[in-house]
Amino acid sequence: MKKALNGEERAARIELLRARAAIERHNLARSVHELKASLAPKTLFREALPAFAGSRPVDWALSGLSFVRRYPFLLSGVSAILGGRRSRLRWVKVAAGLLVGWQLSRHLNRPDDSSAGS
């Protein structure tokens, strides 16, 4: 059976529990912020670019394989786009994907103004 706490001990225990909860909330908020930053499309794209920086075709193939293993939804998306029966629609989708990729790379290569204020 637990020993009964007097008023001061009880108040100290409550204060310790509040402090622990505040620390856990702070850690959770920091982890969510880090996760959000790491999953931003800009971060993912910049992370993928150095993987394809090898000069030999074998390096490209191995980097591509590791990238596809890390992000399997990309492989399924590409196979869904290229696996269709209608060739004209398929090439329109490929062209749209290339256009989106080109615009994304243009956007990412611009200087980032938001980091200058931090």
- 85 vs 8: which has the higher pLDDT: 8
Does the reported pTM lie above 0.85? no
User: Which residue type occupies 10?
Assistant: R
pLDDT tens figures, 54-100: 556 677 677 777 777 887 777 777 777 667 666 677 777 777 877 88
- Per-residue confidence (pLDDT) for residue 102, from 0 to 100: 73
- 65 vs 10: which has the higher pLDDT: 10
Helix, strand, or coil (residue 39): coil
Distance CA 38, CA 96 (A): 26
- Per-residue confidence (pLDDT) for residue 117, from 0 to 100: 47
Helices (H), 1-118: 7-38, 41-51, 57-70, 72-82, 87-109
- 2 vs 114: which has the higher pLDDT: 2
Distance CA 47, CA 40 (A): 11
